[in-house]
């Protein structure tokens, strides 16, 4: 007796803008293996670094709210590997805060790859708190705000939606209100906002998203993906009952505060070919430090002002940009749903999920050894066509 194929259950799929949308845009096949199979990566280095720094920033803000300890804060991390007993330290010691975050991540199997990866994560967390904290913490009015909203499920050509007729988008952001902006006119962040967004009308909110990576070059798909992400956050906030309009979105690229050798090599190339939007003036000490540095030499200490300028990208928000961003996210969701539906019908994973990540993603991927199209190690460019734009 022939048995009917079991249909996919009707539901409202939930998509995280970071865990799903950006992960799929990085590499669909890697996303399928990790997320679709619910398999945790065996070496979750990128996951650990990003979650560690985010966790330290969140805990640091809570300590600042409660006790207002003056900056700069000390940073005395415990040795690697951490000893059974931890030394007594001040509650606002970044090493003390990091201990709690490390323990929380270790409980779910997330650990740094080695001592060097752990050390640079602590250095970047320290720089984020001591360089950005004095200006950023007084402005934040709502930390870790969880937002969500639903969208009509995009129609995939020649296919029916695999599940439900709507999908849910979720995200987490920090929020600055116009009240805090008006209360701190001499604040560095406020000065940058006023310089980039001259048409802010009260009331408004500003959203902040942190990226544990370097600033992408102009024209790079990943830069565009980040822009769509924060604009979709802004769209979600405007959909809330009695929501306040979003005047701007701020992306903070934490790696720019403490660049690695690889980061500086990439910055050199971008400065030479003009593919980055933040280059120090020709003839300045920062310009000479970047252009004259040689791989393997000690990393020069770039000026604080320049590192902060590279770390912060202010994205203007308009109704047209919000509409375009959510359409682009719809397109990505449609691709995910189509891939899932095709896999369900064919029973084949590899033929329905593209492998088109960057070389740095392939190096850290557990499935690179049997990937049908791994990126060359020396190449920083993806293979295969980029995602098609959404109609309209």
pLDDT tens by residue, 134-183: 999 999 999 889 999 999 988 765 555 456 788 999 999 999 988 888 88
Q: Which of 25-29, 129-133, 174-178 has the highest mean pLDDT?
A: 129-133
Tokens 């900056």 correspond to what residue? 71
d(CA 378, CA 44) in angstroms, rounded, equals: 22
pLDDT tens by residue, 180-236: 888 898 899 999 998 888 667 678 899 999 999 999 999 999 999 999 999 999 999
Q: Kindly report the average pLDDT of the chain as a whole number.
A: 85
Longest dimension (CA), the chain: 80
d(CA 314, CA 188) in angstroms, rounded, equals: 13
* Whether residue 320 has pLDDT greater than 90: yes
Beta bridge partners of 168: 14, 150
Q: What pLDDT does residue 261 have?
A: 93
d(CA 113, CA 134) in angstroms, rounded, equals: 31
Q: What pLDDT does residue 6 have?
A: 53
Tokens 């001592």 correspond to what residue? 115
Whole-structure pTM value: 0.87
- Token digits for 255? 């790696």
Q: What pLDDT does residue 203 have?
A: 85
d(CA 204, CA 244) in angstroms, rounded, equals: 6
- Token digits for 23? 């992960």
Tell me if the bond preceding 49 is cis, omega within 30° of 0.
no
Please report, for residues 56, 125, 176, the alpha-carbon distance to residue 139 in angstroms, rounded to integers and kept in the order given: 18, 19, 6
Mean pLDDT of 296-322: 94
Tokens 């029973």 correspond to what residue? 347
* Whether residue 287 has pLDDT greater than 90: yes
Q: What pLDDT does residue 365 have?
A: 78
Query: Shortest CA distance to 45 belongs to which of 127, 115, 144?
Result: 115
* Whether residue 363 has pLDDT greater than 50: yes
Q: Higher confidence at residue 386 or residue 103?
A: 103
Q: Higher confidence at residue 356 or residue 250?
A: 250
* Whether residue 74 has pLDDT greater than 90: yes
Q: What pLDDT does residue 381 have?
A: 45
Q: What pLDDT does residue 388 have?
A: 39
* In the chain, % of residues over pLDDT 90: 52
- Token digits for 156? 């995939």
Q: How many CB atoms lie within 10 A of CB 391?
A: 9
Q: Say if residues 369 and 389 touch (Cβ distance below 8 Å).
A: no
Mean pLDDT of 298-320: 94
Return the minimum-mean-pLDDT range out of 90-94, 282-286, 388-392. 388-392
* Whether residue 392 has pLDDT greater than 50: no
pLDDT tens by residue, 325-345: 999 999 999 999 888 888 888
Q: What pLDDT does residue 126 have?
A: 97
């Amino acid at each position: 007796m022939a048995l009917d194929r079991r249909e996919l259950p009707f539901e409202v799929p939930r998509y995280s803008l970071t865990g799903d949308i950006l992960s799929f845009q990085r590499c669909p096949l890697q996303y399928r293996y990790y997320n679709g199979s619910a398999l945790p990566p065996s070496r979750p280095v990128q996951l650990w670094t990003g979650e560690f720094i985010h966790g330290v920033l969140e805990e640091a803000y809570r300590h600042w709210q409660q006790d207002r300890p003056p900056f700069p804060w000390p940073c005395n991390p415990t040795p690697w590997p951490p000893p059974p007993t931890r030394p007594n330290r001040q509650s606002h010691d970044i090493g003390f805060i990091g201990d709690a975050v490390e323990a929380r991540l270790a409980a779910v199997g997330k650990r740094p790859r080695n001592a060097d990866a752990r050390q640079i994560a602590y250095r970047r967390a320290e720089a984020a708190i001591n360089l950005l904290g004095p200006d950023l913490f007084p402005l934040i009015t709502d930390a870790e705000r969880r937002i969500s909203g639903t969208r009509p499920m995009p129609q995939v050509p020649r296919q029916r939606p695999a599940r439900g007729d709507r999908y849910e988008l979720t995200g987490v952001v920090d929020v600055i209100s116009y009240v805090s902006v008006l209360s701190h006119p001499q604040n560095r962040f406020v000065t940058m906002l006023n310089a980039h967004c001259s048409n802010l009308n009260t009331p408004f909110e500003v959203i902040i998203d942190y990226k544990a990576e370097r600033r992408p070059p102009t024209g790079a798909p990943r830069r565009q993906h980040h822009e769509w992400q924060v604009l979709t956050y802004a769209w979600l906030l405007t959909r809330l009952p009695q929501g306040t309009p979003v005047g701007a979105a701020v992306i903070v690229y934490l790696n720019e505060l403490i660049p690695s050798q690889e980061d500086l090599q990439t910055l050199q190339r971008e400065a030479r070919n003009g593919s980055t939007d933040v280059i120090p003036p020709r003839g300045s000490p920062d310009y000479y430090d970047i252009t004259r540095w040689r791989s393997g030499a000690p990393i020069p200490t770039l000026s604080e002002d320049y590192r902060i300028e590279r770390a912060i990208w202010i994205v203007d928000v308009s109704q047209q940009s919000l509409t375009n961003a959510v359409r682009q996210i719809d397109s990505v969701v449609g691709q995910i749903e189509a891939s899932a539906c095709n896999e369900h019908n064919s029973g084949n994973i590899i033929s329905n999920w593209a492998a088109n990540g960057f070389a740095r993603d392939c190096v850290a991927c557990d499935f690179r050894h049997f990937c049908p199209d791994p990126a060359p190690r020396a190449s920083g460019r993806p293979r295969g066509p980029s995602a098609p734009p959404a109609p309209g």
